[in-house]
């Protein structure tokens, strides 16, 4: 099976450098027309320049591909809407959105200013919302769409000094889960990429010998699969150094407490059983959780769940 994107149109945010650049080049190499979006700011989100995005466009064009640069700030709804409108006017559609743009403002939670917390959430989480909102009606109308969110192990599991970044990245998983349900009948599939790569975002966070292994090019194959025609749906793909894994949220079967034990002490007493992984499930929508808990309550009373 050969994965191609001929006739497809993709928008990649934060595509002037690092992972975004590799994603844009990879899509173009396999036939997609690509909007290379990049504000051109510093790692903390300050400043702006169109040089990085234009350089990637030139790379694509020199290789025989078709691309155009765009400098919209992903947090600016009007600018993003104009980018999407320009894309549709030029190429007729938008098939793929890769939400990759991001900034870092790392500090421990005790020392972090609220403005730095807001700024990171604004770019990573709300920036992805703004871009997705802009392409959503286009994808619904054409009955096709592939969207990739960029989450992180910092959101899934935590990372010292990144409370703002982790909160934003986990928020994208929640966004994905609901968009999957709402986009299903329009063949809009939404997935998350959880990458680790040597970019300017990570260059001072890891030792050099580790960074040497983490080429962005070793992550992009996973991204290309997540936005392909036969892509999965509602998947979190971890990717680094050519290795790939799926992160899956499970819920244990749990226990039901009798009226006599319905106390904090009762919860503490049964804590091990509550966390017993035997019989755990991957839920595919939020309603499954209360259904499971209500079923246990009904069974404890000898009732048949409705």
Active site residues: 165
Instruction: Say if CB 84 and CB 145 are below 8 A apart.
Output: no
User: Torsions phi, psi of 208, nearest 5?
Assistant: -55, -40
């Amino acid at each position: 099976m050969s994965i191609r994107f001929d006739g497809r149109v993709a928008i990649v945010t934060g595509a002037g450098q690092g992972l975004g650049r590799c994603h844009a080049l990879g899509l173009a190499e396999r036939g997609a027309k690509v909007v290379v979006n990049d504000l051109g700011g510093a790692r903390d989100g300050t400043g702006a320049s169109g040089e990085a995005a234009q350089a990637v466009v030139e790379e694509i064009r020199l290789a025989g591909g078709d691309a155009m640069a765009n400098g919209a700030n992903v947090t600016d709804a009007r600018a993003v809407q104009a980018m999407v409108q320009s894309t549709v006017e030029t190429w007729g559609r938008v098939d793929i959105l890769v939400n990759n743009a991001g900034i870092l403002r790392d500090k421990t939670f005790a020392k972090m200013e609220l403005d730095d917390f807001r700024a990171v959430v604004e770019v990573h989480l709300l920036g992805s919302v703004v871009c997705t909102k802009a392409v959503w009606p286009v994808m619904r109308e054409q009955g096709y769409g592939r969207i990739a969110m960029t989450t992180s192990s910092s959101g899934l599991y935590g990372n010292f000094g990144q409370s703002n970044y982790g909160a934003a990245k986990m928020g994208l998983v929640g966004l994905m889960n609901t968009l999957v349900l709402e986009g299903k009948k329009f063949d809009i599939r939404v997935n998350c990429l959880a990458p680790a790569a040597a970019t300017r975002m990570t260059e001072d966070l890891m030792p050099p010998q580790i960074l040497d292994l983490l080429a962005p090019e070793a992550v992009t194959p996973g991204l290309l699969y997540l936005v392909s025609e036969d892509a999965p749906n509602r998947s979190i793909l971890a990717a680094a150094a050519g290795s790939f894994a799926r992160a899956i949220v499970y819920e244990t079967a749990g226990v039901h407490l009798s009226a006599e034990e319905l106390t904090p002490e009762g919860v503490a007493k049964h804590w091990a059983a509550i966390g017993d992984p035997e019989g755990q499930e991957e839920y595919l929508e939020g309603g499954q959780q209360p259904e499971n808990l209500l079923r246990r309550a009904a069974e404890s009373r000898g009732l048949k769940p409705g």
